[in-house]
Amino acid sequence: MRSIMVLNAKGGSGKSVIATNLACFYALDGANVVLADFDPRGSALEWLAHRPPTRPRVQGIAAWRGPFRVPRGTEYLIMDSPAAVHGDQLSALAQRAAVLIVPVLPSPPDTRAAAHFIEELLLVGRVSRRDPSLAVIANRVREQTPGFQDLERFLKRLAIPYVTALRESRNYRRAAERGLGIFELAPSLVAPDLLQWRPLLDWLEHNRRRGC
């Protein structure tokens, strides 16, 4: 089983969007997918509640309620995490996953907060700087803006993989409102978004082959 967690202490950085879209991608691929929501706000499970029963199934778990059993036969465990996780709670969360993805928004406060968060993650999450199972992605970017250029400079300086930048796109909301992922919208609508997801999906696949 592959366990992938999306985390960043900053609310609104796109954790739930990325977790639900990853769950959707693997379900479309025919895998047995569980989406565990560690956030008591329950955004990931809310997405699931809107998901049409005709779409490839993703099974939800309200992980914020406490210990849970991962169903037998699960191939992908995708975990969404709450905002404001630090210290022991962060350490406990981070150790649940083989792969950690940190989305960061292109604003000076978000970039500063991400710097602290990643430092804490490396420290308390016992994640090594060279560990291939930790990656950052830029999210909600508008290219050619100073905010994005500053964020890219920052992410490229980190000694951990910076795998992709996802643009600001109404498609995420459009899909989420219907319990879908962007992979399930009209290809002509989402072609630029899919191109941006490719490096993340490839990086995850590369890690899988290496046994992470």
The stretch near ligand ADP (CB under 6 A) out of 22-30, 84-92, 172-180, 199-207 is 172-180
Interaction of residue 12 with ligand ADP, rule CB under 6 A: yes
Q: Crossing angle for the helix pair 15-28 and 187-209, nearest 10 degrees?
A: 80
Interaction of residue 139 with Mg ion, rule CB under 5 A: no
Question: Three-state SS string across 54-102, please?
Answer: CCCCEEEECHHHCCCCCCCCCCEEEEECCCCCCHHHHHHHHCCCCEEEE
Interaction of residue 13 with ligand ADP, rule CB under 6 A: yes
What the block records as the tokens of 23 is 């769950």
Interaction of residue 107 with ligand ADP, rule CB under 6 A: no
Interaction of residue 81 with Mg ion, rule CB under 5 A: no
Q: Is the Cβ of residue 43 or residue 74 nearer to ligand ADP in the bound state?
A: 43
Question: Three-state SS string across 4-51, please?
Answer: EEECCCCCCCCHHHHHHHHHHHHHHCCCCEEEEECCCCCHHHHHHHHC
Q: Is the Cβ of residue 111 or residue 139 nearer to ligand ADP in the bound state?
A: 139
CB of 44 to ligand ADP, least distance (A): 8
- Three-class SS state of 127: coil
Binding-residue pattern over the window 4 to 43 for Mg ion, x denoting contact by CB under 5 A: -----------xx--------------------------x
Q: Which residues bind Mg ion (CB under 5 A)?
A: 15-16, 43
